[in-house]
A and B are shown apart, each in its own frame.
Chain A
């Protein structure tokens, strides 16, 4: 049985997975599967970042010291929970401000249409 093809994400998505991951982790510690599902749910399936995007993104953020992880045993499985570090909070604030400025600028050019 094959699942239906996932719709592709818009092409202008550079930096968006990082922003969304940092935003979700600013609320509480989460693990990879939760993050993938949460993005899918909260964007009403408009955005779907797969495992090949979210986990490398989490590892890169961890490498930069923006998130830290801890390992827990859950139902006999090893699970990594990620949480934001103070540096991650600062980066989130910067990225959110940049995002706000960009979307406002694009909205102005698009003449009031939703972008």
Chain B
């Protein structure tokens, strides 16, 4: 099996470090062009094709180090990249509940507005079918909000070229928050809050186990991990480096 080209190795390292796709493509393009120029220069000096390729690869440097240097620049460009401990360790502790409450405020506002529409307003919400659908919608909304918050942190980590581990940390915090938060629907009342005890959820009507809430952000972290793995696999497949003219 032939050894991967320096550009394929560079692509792989960039993907492993969590470099976003667009800058990774650009860096690989520029480095491929540079490598071809180095090879051309070596050929003009009279080296054979193999020697020219070997010297160009040597002059280009270690692909892993190159990738680290490029990713460091991308990280410095964003606040989240410069302060990952703060951004993904501390901010989620405060941002997750705030975003969750804001999300619920928006959802409730929408429901209140929609309930004033013609036929919808005449529905009997204390009926078992409608109530059951309401509970289902409530839990779906809660899962969606938790997923969106976790996805937002995953996206920030990716755009800041920070890689998977910081996304995982933020998702773990969101997961913990998902575990202790609850929403409950009863006829004529809707409550959001935090668990006072680990078994409290059993007494709240229409509430899923808190493990389901906790699992949602972790599923998003799993999706982020799968995405990074796919990026690494694509980098391995990589386009062949173009031959110098």
Asked if A60 and B73 make an inter-chain contact with CB atoms under 8 angstroms apart, the answer reads: yes
Q: Please tell me if the beta carbons of B59 and A3 are within 8 angstroms of each other in the complex.
A: yes
- What band does the interface of chain B fall in when counting residues whose beta carbon is under 8 Å from A? 20 to 34
Partner of A77, one of B36, B58, B66: B36
Tell me if A33 and B69 are in contact (CB < 8 A). Answer: no
The size of the chain A interface, using a CB distance under 8 A, is 23
Contact A53 B69 (CB under 8 A): yes
Taking CB atoms and an 8 Å cut-off, the chain B residues in 66-92 that contact chain A are 66, 69-70, 72-74, 76-77
Once A63-B77, A78-B33 are accepted as A-B contacts, the answer to whether A56 and B55 lie under 8 Å apart by CB is no
Q: B167 an interface residue at 8 Å Cβ cutoff?
A: no
B35's nearest neighbour on chain A, judged by CB, is A51
A80 within 8 Å of B (CB atoms): yes
Q: Is the CB of A56 within 8 A of B34?
A: no
- The reply to whether B33 and A33 form a contact with Cβ atoms under 8 Å apart is yes
A52 CB contact (under 8 Å) in B38, B58, B69:
B69
CA distance A51 to B66 in the complex (A): 8
Name B's interface SS: helix
Let me know if B72 and A1 touch, CB within 8 A. Answer: no
B55:A3 contact, CB within 8 angstroms = yes
**B55 and A59 within 8 A (CB):** no
Contacts A51-B31, A60-B73, A76-B245; A33 near B38 (Cβ below 8 A): yes
Tell me the number of A-to-B contacts counted with CB atoms below 8 Å: 69
Q: A53-B69, A60-B73 are in contact. Are A80 and B30 (CB under 8 A)?
A: yes
CB distance from B20 to the nearest CB of A (A): 13
A51 and B51 in contact, given A56-B70, A75-B245 (Cβ under 8 angstroms): no
Q: Which residue of A lies closest to B51 (CB)?
A: A1
Q: For window 23-44 of chain A, which residues contact chain B by CB distance below 8 Å?
A: 31-33, 36
Of residues 76 to 105 in A, which have CB atoms within 8 Å of B's CB atoms?
A: 76-80
Residue pairs across A and B with Cβ atoms less than 8 A apart, 29 shown, are A1-B51, A2-B55, A2-B58, A3-B55, A32-B30, A33-B33, A50-B61, A51-B31, A51-B34, A52-B61, A52-B66, A53-B69, A55-B30, A55-B70, A56-B72, A59-B23, A59-B73, A59-B74, A60-B76, A60-B77, A63-B73, A63-B77, A74-B33, A76-B242, A77-B32, A79-B33, A80-B26, A80-B29, A80-B33
Give me the interface of A with B, judged by CB distance under 8 Å. Answer: 1-3, 31-33, 36, 50-53, 55-56, 59-60, 63, 74-80
Residue of A nearest to B34 (CB): A33
Closest partner residue, chain A, to B23 (CB atom): A59
B60 close to A (CB within 8 Å): yes
